[in-house]
Copies of this chain bind each other. A is one copy, B any other.
Amino acid sequence: MKKVLLIIMDGLGDRPNNSLNGKTALQAAYKPNLDYLASNGATGLMSPVSFGIRSGSDTSHLSILGYDPEKYYTGRGPFEAMGLGIGLEAGDIAFRANFGSVVDGKLVDRRAGRIKDTSELSKSLETSIDGVEFIIKSGVEHRAALVLRGINLSDKISETDPHNTDTEPLFTKPLKKEGEFTASVINKFIERSRRILNEHPVNLKRIELGELPANEIMLRGAGKIPEMPSFSEKYGMNAACISGTPLIRGIAKLAGLDIINVDGMTGRTDTNYENVINSAISSLKNYEFVLVNIKGTDIAGHDKKPELKKSVIERVDRAMEPLKKILGDTLVVITGDHSTPCSYGDHTGDPVPVLFSTEGILYDYVNSFDELGVSSGFYKIKSTDLMPIVLSYSERAEKYGA
């Protein structure tokens, strides 16, 4: 049996870039180590979740790890809350929350005048009502996440975001009988929040400056934290995750993976990739499966910066040099969780390159790890096919039949 190192370069897939002579970032990058692993490996293209699906990092990571998103992806609320670093527990109900502006009883701006920072406002709203704890954390600009923790909570309630302006702000309603209690505590929370926000010094100051107040909190994307069988139960491997991204760490925790912190891992493009790869390698002493998520490629894609994406790939590649020495007892798997083409600036449904490398593997003709290079490799798979292949190459799969 071999150990497994799975490195997911977030948003790795790309499309032709004018500034890179029509090449993708992977094609343009100097990446001798990735190419070495591809040359000594089985490669192919992987469609995250399924062909043509524009998956998020959450649904994609779930499916790569073998958790069907149809079953375990319980809405944006829980996963956005994880993304903001709220530690979630089974039974919690989570929402995306947006701060809006109400003037004369009407919602006039669903983004509260593009307010920069709502963290003080969020903090002032945390409370406990009828035994239910309200945890709220701010995100970028007007965005936040709200988590309800308590017993008998339900996500069968209507959203309070009218998705329109010039309309009265909403209360929630139960969508089913089981949602009645949750709806009632949320409505108490909304009434209380309005009082607090209208009198909050941050908002008083904004009004003084002629800015719109962030005095309404609107909820949507209600979802329950999924209960998932642990990764080690599913696959018989103890496992850890290295990631600078709260969302990925949250998903890893849900799957029961230990979280390993790495010095210099920022979740940005300035991450110390040597530290990340070296920590992953040394973690393989204590863990049979280590998942690494590298966020920089995705950030460059969202920012539409092909040169930056190329440079992130080159820096990661340099850090990968030591991987060549662990192939005797380790299966190294490298892929992306989706494409974030610099020409598009967001996730697309394009397939992403994948490679499996270990000593003794049947390698294909591919010797360049990029979207086109791997297209003549062995595999054209969906992300849900990845773990069975991992189990097979790492000599962990049981024979099915005789």
Chain A interface (Cβ < 8 Å from any Cβ of B)? 13-16, 24, 42, 44-45, 49-60, 69, 73, 76, 79-80, 83, 247, 339, 341, 343-344, 346-351, 360-365, 371-372, 375-381, 385, 387-393, 397-402
Once the chains bind, are A400 and B362 in contact (CB under 8 Å)? Answer: no
Closest Cβ neighbor of A365 among chain B residues = B372
Once the chains bind, are A402 and B51 in contact (CB under 8 Å)? Answer: no
Nearest CB on B from A284, distance (A): 21
Of B348, B388, B393, the residue contacting A392 (CB under 8 A) is B348
Q: This chain: how many copies in the complex?
A: 2
Nearest CB on B from A308, distance (A): 19
If the complex has contacts A360-B15, A364-B375, A401-B69, are A389 and B76 also in contact, measured as CB distance less than 8 A? Answer: no
Once the chains bind, are B360 and A56 in contact (CB under 8 Å)? Answer: no
Of B51, B351, B398, B401, the residue contacting A58 (CB under 8 A) is B401
Residue of A52, A349, A381, A385 with most partner-chain B CB within 10 A: A52
Once the chains bind, are A402 and B56 in contact (CB under 8 Å)? Answer: yes
Cα–Cα distance between A392 and B14 once the two chains are bound (Å): 14
If the complex has contacts A79-B401, A399-B346, A401-B69, are A52 and B362 also in contact, measured as CB distance less than 8 A? Answer: no
Residue of A247, A347, A401 with most partner-chain B CB within 10 A: A401
Once the chains bind, are A351 and B378 in contact (CB under 8 Å)? Answer: yes
Top 5 A-B pairs ranked by shortest CB distance?
A56-B401, A349-B392, A52-B388, A59-B401, A52-B389
Once the chains bind, are B376 and A375 in contact (CB under 8 Å)? Answer: yes
Of B51, B376, B388, B402, the residue contacting A376 (CB under 8 A) is B376
Once the chains bind, are B49 and A15 in contact (CB under 8 Å)? Answer: no
Nearest CB on B from A298, distance (A): 12
Which residues of B sit under 8 angstroms from A377, Cβ to Cβ? 375
